[in-house]
Structure 1
Amino acid sequence: MSELRKKFFTAPLLKIIKRVLPPISETEREAMEAGEVWWDAELLSGKPDWDQLLGMGPPELNKEEQAFLEGPVEELCRMINDWQISYVDHDIPQHVWDFLRANHFFGIIIPKKYGGLGFSPTAHAEIVTKISTRSTSVGVTVMVPNSLGPGELLLSHGTQEQKDYYLPRLADGRDIPCFALTSPQAGSDAASMIDYGIVCYGEHQGEKVLGMRVNWHKRYITLGPIATVLGLAFKLYDPDHIIGDEEELGITVALVPTDTPGVSIGQRHLPAMQAFQNGPNWGKDVFMPMEWIIGGEENVGKGWEMLMSALAAGRGISLPSLSTGGAKMAARTTGAYARIREQFNVPVGRFEGVQRRLAEIAAIAFVLDSAHKTTTRALDEGRKPAVITAIMKANATCGLRQAIIDAMDIHAGKAIMDGPMNYLGNVYRAVPVAITVEGANLLTRSLMIFGQGAIRCHPYLLKEMLAAENPDQEKGLDELDELLPKHMWFQFKTLCRGVFHGWTLGLFASSPRNVGRAAKYYRQLNRYSAVLTLVTEISLMTLGGELKRKELISSRLGDVLSQLYLLSCTLKRFYDDDHPKDDLPLLEFAMRDGLHKIEVSLLEVFQNFPRPFIGQIMRFLTMPWGHSVHTASDRQAKACAELLLTPSETRDRLTSGVYVGNAGDGVDIVEQAFEKVCASERAREKLKKGGIRALSRGTVEEGLKKNLISDEEAEILYDAADAVEKAIQVDHFDHLGGRSDTVQ
């Protein structure tokens, strides 16, 4: 029976698969093999195992990590003057550089035996998050050596000799690293770089040794202008077949001291008014011994795989940390400002239009922080979920952009006048930097999240594609024959589950036990996990390799997968926090918003599917009733906004890790005004009952004269009025741009 099936079913199907599916290039294969799948595979199974996610527990810091956050990180934040760094000096001052080196901020991930801190991914993330709420430039300076620098590559791939030499020097800041990947011609497409090296013999330290002569031109290299060692990516060739039969050896990564003859370090770029060091570098016929390759000669041509693992750390920790910190800072300061700033004698935060924006900011901060915590918790366990880190990078940076835009809308003129009092402007200018680095979000969204995720997370598809490409056709046929029955059974279950949950609106989908009022949202995520899995199967069957080129379809399906992951993390965070009742408005707003986005993306897939009839079939099978989840109601938005307008444990929990600021700076002034205004609420109500609605020293005096308030209450109101007056001011300068000592 098996032989008959193989002859009359599997063999003809193998020919179809080879014709329909595009061949997998070596670069694509290495990218797919880098990292691993995790919760993304559960979401694309159609029936996620929630016990796996909820059973992880919350992320935790050990005593040493917590002490570092409360000690050196707090002290660093006190030292930072972001206005001075970004607009006056355009550089981090020497005493801050010295502090970073002395406290091993560049060795957060380096093990203690090499002189580093040896902290967990969660601690790494919390450190970068807090610093970024104070200064993007300092945050970037700290995050790069710990994620995009050679340190992680050395830990994963370096020889013992390389580790013993470089890691102690990186940990204490004797060496400042950078990672030289981006070329002017290639951009994010590392496979298209033209930087090259030729295997040859040359002289090194007075001896003739086997090595490479390398030429390159790199740009946009963070820390490049001050780096002492480059992690350099280039294509290596062996035209004389010195080390083997192959001429094109592939992408290779080497460690190159910047004082090596032939290396040129260019002048600085100025990325969007950010002060972190960034610039180009070149190499002209630079000879390097083979021992400079990370991992030695045996790692020739393995650079692409190494790059994928290094970029995953930046995508999963560094940029999401920066984005989460920015979103949480926007939530805290915007809620405070909307509470103290009045129009028509009413706090602007009580206007419905503003409340909706406040709710969106709060929900973004809540979701990003939840996903950030869940991702770093997985990294703590040693996982390397490549697709999920891409989801985090794209959605965290876009989430920050939306949060900052909404925050600036609410602050109005306060946020568009530059100066030390403006705590949002520099974050706003940093957003495009975060969105475009490590693979621009357009590329990440359209090609990586679903394009790689659908294949990597599928239980059978990648194995089938590899079987179809097996040069041993008989062996490939045997492998495919074993896989196909399993795949067909998977398709049948997926069809049943997707149609059933689609037609019943997920009412009968399962949910974990002991999740309380959040159970309905677990059911909806189960529903759309089943729907996405079914739509993915149909899309792959009908479009095959064409799906890879339908970037808009792939993007929308990637958006569904992204929202499923973000919302899963949000539910996990609510579960880990023991279902706090006061956080329900945040949960409801975030879940409704995310589920609505899922529905919009799916309906757009059906509407724009290249085979219109198939698109309508998919809609009929999975979403026959159209939209079933609407965005949060105005009542829910108001409840969510109120969490930012009122002092509470929920507000503090949502914005934990935000550096509130040094006495007298912009964030501190607004926070102090917020506290004083809230503390004076009762006395203010007495004034209003007496017909006095505005808050100023004059109206307080009027209230005293009318015996509406006591002397003690008057002092409280005087303090609040003075604090508000100070908080709403902006910086001003003389006509030459020199700063005045006063604000108005």
Structure 2
Amino acid sequence: MFNQLMNWMRDNKVLPQISDTERQALEAGDVWIDGQFFGGKVDFEKILAEHYDTLPAHEQAFLDGPVEELLQMADSYELSRTRKLPDDVFKFMAENGFFAMQIAKEYGGMPMSTQAKSCIMAKVSSYSGLLSAMVVIPNSLGAAELLGHYGTDEQKNYYLPKLAKGEFMPCFGLTEPTAGSDAASIKAEGVVFKDSDGQIKFKLNFRKRYITLAPVANLVSLAVRLHDPDNLLGKGEEPGITVVLIEKGAPGTEGLHIGDHHQPIGEHFPNGPIVGRDVIVPAGNVLGGVEYTGMGWKMLMEALAGGRMVSLPATGICGIRHGAMIAGAYSMVRQQFGIPVGRMEGVEHKIGKAAGMTYAFDAARVFGCSAVDHGIQPPVTSAIMKAYSTEMGRDTGTDAMDVTAGYGVMQGPNNTMGRLYNSAPVSVTVEGANIMTRTLMIFGQGATRCHPYAYKVVQAVENNDVGAFRKNLTGWMVQFLLGFVMTLVRGVTRGFFTVKVPSVAPQTRSIYRRLGWAATRFGLLTNLAMFFVGGKLKARGNLTGRYADVVAWLYITTSALRRFEAEGRKAEDLALVQYAGEYGLAQIQNAFEGIYENFDGPVGVILKTVGRVWLGLNPLAKLPNDQLSHQAALALQSYGDQYKRLVGGNYMPPESDQGLGRLLKAFRLTTEAEPVREKIRAAQKARKLGRGKIDQVAADAAAQGVITDAELALLNDATAACLQAIEVDVFTKDEYYGAGGIPAMSATGDGGMEQPPAYELAKASGE
């Protein structure tokens, strides 16, 4: 019976059809806690036992020392204006190991943990796109990482010391005009031949684009499809995708054209095309040696399995933190109608979301990086972090722009929002557009690889192994039936008594309970998709995208809970973890509704009718209410330890700096002055002072002894700092049209005319 069933499933393509390139992607990396989600059975005790690391002292010292020094010596506005990295900055980076974090000490490297690289990349990216590219590319997927894993001893000894010192600047040539997210379809061609000197060589012809650091690189890791018509390598006529190292200026590379620029949206970073016409390299230039010919795709998938957890999530989280930092500070510095705009509910709502998402996504970053540092390479959660952190970075940037309004719109050296806001689409599209990652990769790979039985059944069918097929299909059926029963039970009980919640903070138990309930339903729906959509899942991108939303928010929300426990259940963070929990569960609820509405066939009829009604009557959650949004927003609306802990992973410049520095100064002072304002309000309420705005009655309050002279001075300083912080850049006609050289570095507001001190302006305007 099982033999006949196996043949029927194969002949009718009931199970997903897996190509060779897909198989290499599926088999790369490890199943982590995502396996519990796809299996529909979550063990929170095991999850809470997973590593959630802090940086060791030497890595924290690097972050607090050389990284801070680098950002203080570089002028982000000047870098964006000139688009060039000064020689002294490059030298500092080379001497202090900024190109060597992926390289072992024996080759002159300064290896860093995944966690540390993520922290460094996030901090640098928050300040400058140019510096970000110079740090991210040498220390993520590229020559150093691939050589470290696969290089021959000869290659490591030659290339790695030069990469560590910045003598070689690398770039990775993968994307082509006709091969983007579908990178396996590259057309770059290499023909194997025997030269007149008797050596086996490759003749390469290619056209690559969107290659970060290409304009300044002198070492290219090129992904190329090799053809070996005479089987000189002994791997057949079509060995497949191979990574070949090309050193700019080496003999035979006269046909290499590199150095032109694309102009990415937002802030500049070096990015451009690479074109090769009859470029000749020895066969020994295959990364890893000739034995790795044809293994390029496998190498890339193995590197990306954990690598996607590092650079782009760091960039996305840097954007989330930056939006939170600016929106929170500006909302208290800017006043309208006599109150900080952050006290208005519409503004407060966006800041509450920024606070909750900063907490949750930073937790997911730390949790994922900790897994990689302990030897786990989780491709599905890495893809989740790439897609959803960069998307949330874009969303938070949009919300922050809404809060800052004209201050965020007017460009110049004092604009604190424009650079990251404009650059957000870059992270969203790199390493596969988020649309593709969400609709094709996360659930497509996860449903097969992370499911406890699916891939084993597929392998059994492909291998015609009846015994393995019987064992795993039987296990699958038992798992499906138990999942069906538990989904019903947990739906009726809302997880009470049926989801095992470990010893956690009492205020978060409800989140655990509903996450366990959601995971059980997700496991059942995954099985229904595998059974009734099967091989057509690849074409059902909208449906699989909603499945991806569920597993993504299961991971992100679970990470927030893990953080709360790992950090000792900080009382001040309770509103943040609760916000993250309610928001994440609401996203899962929304995704479930979309799945039920769009599932086809007889099962779809049941889901669209009975199932949809039940979902509406018995929801997992709704979006956080106004009170919770208010509580979460408070974390970003006072300059103190919690604010600095939430956003301090980004660069916080000295208060003497223009732009962000002066905004943070104003935020600090206005926070310190708030108790003074409270004294004045209390006196007004007691009718000891007349009515009026705080600044208007402050002098009378001091004269009557309501506040001290020192408190009056603090209040005046805060008012002056706030007025200065909300100024925007003003350029003369010559500066605006470029005739005046470097644009004005201070916003005078009147084309250069001298103005009275800010506090005098405040008194004159009545603010």
Name the TM-score, length of structure 1 as normaliser: 0.95
Is 1:510 paired with 2:503? no
Select which of 478, 481, 485 maps to 1:489: 478
Identity over aligned pairs, percent = 38
Match of 1:47 in 2: 41
Residue 200 of structure 1 aligns to a residue in which SS? strand
Match of 2:275 in 1: 282
Is 1:644 paired with 2:636? yes
Cα displacement string for residues 684-741 of structure 1 (whole angstroms, at most 9, x for unaligned residues): 2344423454355x65445556665432222111111111111110111112415334
Superposed counterparts of 1:286-297, under 5 Å = 286-297=279-290
Match of 1:348 in 2: 341
Q: Aligned in 2, Cα 1:151/1:321: closer, same or farther, shift over 3 Å?
A: same
Select which of 736, 748, 762 maps to 1:743: 748
| Separation of aligned partners in 1, 2:534 and 2:51 | 39
Displacement of 1:666 = 1.3
Match of 2:68 in 1: 74
Cα pair 1:311 1:438 within 8 Å, conserved: no
Select which of 424, 443, 450 maps to 1:457: 450
Match of 1:3 in 2: none
| Unaligned segments of structure 2, at least 5 residues | 750-767
| Separation of aligned partners in 2, 1:345 and 1:594 | 35
| Separation of aligned partners in 2, 1:726 and 1:111 | 48
Cα pair 2:518 2:620 within 8 Å, conserved: no
Displacement of 1:613 = 4.3
Cα displacement string for residues 652-687 of structure 1 (whole angstroms, at most 9, x for unaligned residues): 221232221132221111111111112112322344
Cα pair 1:607 1:616 within 8 Å, conserved: no
Residue 191 of structure 2 aligns to a residue in which SS? strand
Q: Aligned in 2, Cα 1:67/1:480: closer, same or farther, shift over 3 Å?
A: same
Residue 198 of structure 2 aligns to a residue in which SS? strand
2:506 alignment partner AA? G
Match of 1:4 in 2: none
Match of 1:725 in 2: 723
Superposed counterparts of 1:551-570, under 5 Å = 551-570=541-560
Q: Aligned in 2, Cα 1:382/1:619: closer, same or farther, shift over 3 Å?
A: farther
Q: Aligned in 2, Cα 1:514/1:586: closer, same or farther, shift over 3 Å?
A: closer
Cα pair 2:202 2:282 within 8 Å, conserved: yes
Q: Aligned in 2, Cα 1:45/1:628: closer, same or farther, shift over 3 Å?
A: closer
Q: Aligned in 2, Cα 1:721/1:23: closer, same or farther, shift over 3 Å?
A: closer
Select which of 81, 84, 94 maps to 2:78: 84
| Separation of aligned partners in 2, 1:141 and 1:18 | 51
Select which of 691, 712, 730 maps to 2:710: 712
Match of 2:148 in 1: 155
Displacement of 1:337 = 1.1
Match of 2:755 in 1: none
Displacement of 1:52 = 2.7
Displacement of 1:447 = 0.3
Q: Aligned in 2, Cα 1:273/1:654: closer, same or farther, shift over 3 Å?
A: closer
Match of 2:573 in 1: 583
Residue 630 of structure 1 aligns to a residue in which SS? coil
Displacement of 1:618 = 7.9
Q: Aligned in 2, Cα 1:615/1:526: closer, same or farther, shift over 3 Å?
A: farther
Q: Aligned in 2, Cα 1:619/1:11: closer, same or farther, shift over 3 Å?
A: same
| Separation of aligned partners in 1, 2:529 and 2:490 | 19
| Separation of aligned partners in 1, 2:386 and 2:86 | 29
Superposed counterparts of 1:118-157, under 5 Å = 118-157=111-150
Q: Aligned in 2, Cα 1:28/1:57: closer, same or farther, shift over 3 Å?
A: closer
Displacement of 1:317 = 0.5
Match of 2:236 in 1: 246
| Separation of aligned partners in 2, 1:21 and 1:490 | 17
Cα displacement string for residues 619-640 of structure 1 (whole angstroms, at most 9, x for unaligned residues): 7469824224111111111111
Computed over aligned residues only, the root mean square deviation of the Cα atoms, in angstroms, reads: 1.9
| Separation of aligned partners in 1, 2:298 and 2:491 | 39
Residue 208 of structure 1 aligns to a residue in which SS? coil
Is 1:106 paired with 2:95? no
Match of 2:198 in 1: 208
| Separation of aligned partners in 2, 1:629 and 1:653 | 28
Displacement of 1:501 = 1.3
| Separation of aligned partners in 1, 2:605 and 2:371 | 36
Q: Aligned in 2, Cα 1:62/1:628: closer, same or farther, shift over 3 Å?
A: closer
| Separation of aligned partners in 2, 1:18 and 1:459 | 23
| Unaligned segments of structure 1, at least 5 residues | 1-7
| Separation of aligned partners in 1, 2:199 and 2:620 | 69
Q: Aligned in 2, Cα 1:523/1:418: closer, same or farther, shift over 3 Å?
A: same
Cα pair 2:124 2:131 within 8 Å, conserved: yes
Is 1:307 paired with 2:300? yes
Q: Aligned in 2, Cα 1:447/1:200: closer, same or farther, shift over 3 Å?
A: same
Displacement of 1:21 = 2.7
Residue 439 of structure 1 aligns to a residue in which SS? coil
Residue 639 of structure 2 aligns to a residue in which SS? coil
| Separation of aligned partners in 2, 1:138 and 1:612 | 55
Match of 1:220 in 2: 210
| Separation of aligned partners in 2, 1:341 and 1:335 | 11
| Separation of aligned partners in 1, 2:170 and 2:574 | 45
Instruction: Answer with 610-619 or 418-427: which moved more.
Output: 610-619
Match of 2:351 in 1: 358
Cα displacement string for residues 459-482 of structure 1 (whole angstroms, at most 9, x for unaligned residues): 111121122122xx4xx2232123
| Separation of aligned partners in 1, 2:96 and 2:478 | 57
| Separation of aligned partners in 2, 1:385 and 1:561 | 14
Is 1:439 paired with 2:438? no
1:651 alignment partner AA? Y
| Separation of aligned partners in 2, 1:480 and 1:628 | 36
Displacement of 1:533 = 0.4
Q: Aligned in 2, Cα 1:640/1:375: closer, same or farther, shift over 3 Å?
A: same
Cα pair 2:484 2:524 within 8 Å, conserved: yes
1:72 alignment partner AA? P
Instruction: Answer with 230-239 or 59-68: which moved more.
Output: 59-68
| Separation of aligned partners in 1, 2:523 and 2:169 | 46
Residue 550 of structure 2 aligns to a residue in which SS? helix
Q: Aligned in 2, Cα 1:329/1:258: closer, same or farther, shift over 3 Å?
A: same
Cα pair 1:339 1:674 within 8 Å, conserved: yes
Displacement of 1:404 = 0.7
Match of 1:38 in 2: 32
Cα pair 1:136 1:322 within 8 Å, conserved: no
Residue 281 of structure 2 aligns to a residue in which SS? strand
Cα pair 1:234 1:251 within 8 Å, conserved: yes
| Separation of aligned partners in 1, 2:270 and 2:9 | 53
Cα displacement string for residues 210-266 of structure 1 (whole angstroms, at most 9, x for unaligned residues): 121111000110010111100100111112222336322111101110223221114
| Separation of aligned partners in 2, 1:376 and 1:26 | 29
| Separation of aligned partners in 1, 2:164 and 2:523 | 45
Cα pair 2:37 2:519 within 8 Å, conserved: yes
Q: Aligned in 2, Cα 1:106/1:615: closer, same or farther, shift over 3 Å?
A: farther
Residue 283 of structure 1 aligns to a residue in which SS? strand
Displacement of 1:332 = 2.1
Displacement of 1:649 = 3.1
2:290 alignment partner AA? E
Cα pair 2:326 2:417 within 8 Å, conserved: no
Select which of 20, 24, 27 maps to 1:26: 20
Cα pair 1:23 1:469 within 8 Å, conserved: no
Residue 733 of structure 2 aligns to a residue in which SS? coil
| Separation of aligned partners in 2, 1:377 and 1:719 | 44
Residue 85 of structure 1 aligns to a residue in which SS? helix
Superposed counterparts of 1:250-649, under 5 Å = 250-259=240-249, 260-470=253-463, 473=464, 476-508=465-497, 509-611=499-601, 613-617=603-607, 620=610, 624-626=614-616, 627-649=619-641
